[in-house]
Amino acid sequence: MARRPLWIWPNILSLDAPLVALAWFWMFKQVWLVKYHQPSLPWLLALTVWCIYVADRLMDSRGQQGSKDELTLRHRFHWDYRGLMKIALCVGVVGVFFLLSRQSRGLLAYCYPAAAPVVLYFLISFQSSSRGVSWFKNVVAGLAFAYGTTVGVHFRSGSSVGFHELALSSEVVVFAALCMINMMVIDHWESTGESERDTEEKAESDAENKILRILLLALVIVCYLLAGAAEAFGSQTHKAFYLAAMVGAGGLAFLTLFRHLFSRVSLRILADVALLLPLPFFYLFAN
């Protein structure tokens, strides 16, 4: 592989998603006033997310090996070094099971439902080969990422009565929506080339782009309204959370509106930055 700038490597090595998960894990700790959790829990979260992403990219690159030129940079890396990545994945899975053994039985039982969207996602990915935005697949992926990131810290919140409470939490729903749209936007960017092949494909791409803009606008409005409601109840931390999520949605909206200014690789990196950007804003708004 040709020499690449350092800022690309977190994405190539699938380290971007674990970083995003840890950032939001910390924010949810502050929102739900969690004072204690097992020290190994963040490591378990990060390693699990990394293993899932590596497995997904290995599976995707295998399905597209006949059209290697169409592979994204990260998928091409995973295919070119598939032997090494499979070994790393096996080591990571062993690490996940070891860290699982360090968690309480109550936490493990609480986390079981969060595995359902992960399994469903891989089933969909195994059968999906269509171009364009895979709407349902990205909805499932967003739910899997949001629930997986929050389930451990929610268990330690002290007020949890069951997974259904987590699933219906307004904070988690907002985060899940942000994750879904983030994945849809990335899917849209990567499924459309520099110029669409024909008029029909361009029309479909334009329609997808309009839908994504509407979804982002709706999410920004919802976050603003929830922040106002949180302020009315005197909850500064919750207000900070929704404002930070609004910053993330705004970042994605900016990239969607001005995507022509960036390369496809840069857009993919900046999509992750848009989900990390809420972290400093949350800290600023909450203090």
Least confident of 26-30, 108-112, 248-252: 108-112
Per cent of the chain over pLDDT 90 is 63
| Within-domain flag for 248 | yes
Q: Which of 40-49, 150-159, 184-193 has the highest mean pLDDT?
A: 40-49
| Within-domain flag for 171 | yes
Q: What is the DSSP letter of 64?
A: T
| Within-domain flag for 105 | yes
Residue-range definition of the domain harbouring residue 90: 6-286
How confident is the model over 111-139, as a mean pLDDT? 85
Cα separation, 241 vs 220, in Å, equals 13
| Within-domain flag for 1 | no
How confident is the model over 95-108, as a mean pLDDT? 94
Q: Quote the pTM value.
A: 0.92
pLDDT, greater one: 13 or 166: 13
pLDDT, greater one: 168 or 149: 149
Arithmetic mean of pLDDT over the chain: 89
* b/e code 135-156 from CB counts within 10 Å (16+ = b): eebbbbbbbbbbbbbbbbbbbb
Cα separation, 37 vs 157, in Å, equals 9
| Within-domain flag for 251 | yes
Q: Which amino acid is at 179?
A: C
Residue 233: is its pLDDT beyond 90? Answer: no
| Within-domain flag for 278 | yes
Residue 95 is predicted with a pLDDT of 98
Cα separation, 154 vs 28, in Å, equals 8
Can you read off the two tokens belonging to residue 36?
A: 């204690």
Residue 72 is predicted with a pLDDT of 78
What is residue 103's three-state secondary structure? Answer: coil
| Within-domain flag for 232 | yes
Residue 65 is predicted with a pLDDT of 53
Neighbours of 241 (CB within 10 A): 29
Residue 127: is its pLDDT beyond 90? Answer: no
What is residue 190's three-state secondary structure? Answer: helix
> Could you give the angle at the alpha carbon of 179 between the alpha carbons of 256 and 236, nearest 5°?
100
| Within-domain flag for 132 | yes
Least confident of 42-56, 129-143, 189-203: 189-203
Residue 160 is predicted with a pLDDT of 60
**Start-to-end CA span in the chain (Å):** 45
Which spans in the chain are helix H?
9-12, 16-31, 41-63, 73-80, 82-101, 105-111, 115-127, 135-155, 163-168, 170-191, 199-232, 236-257, 264-276, 278-286
How confident is the model over 196-218, as a mean pLDDT? 83
Residue 62 is predicted with a pLDDT of 72
C-beta separation of 26 from 283 below 8 A: no
Domains contained in the chain, number: 1
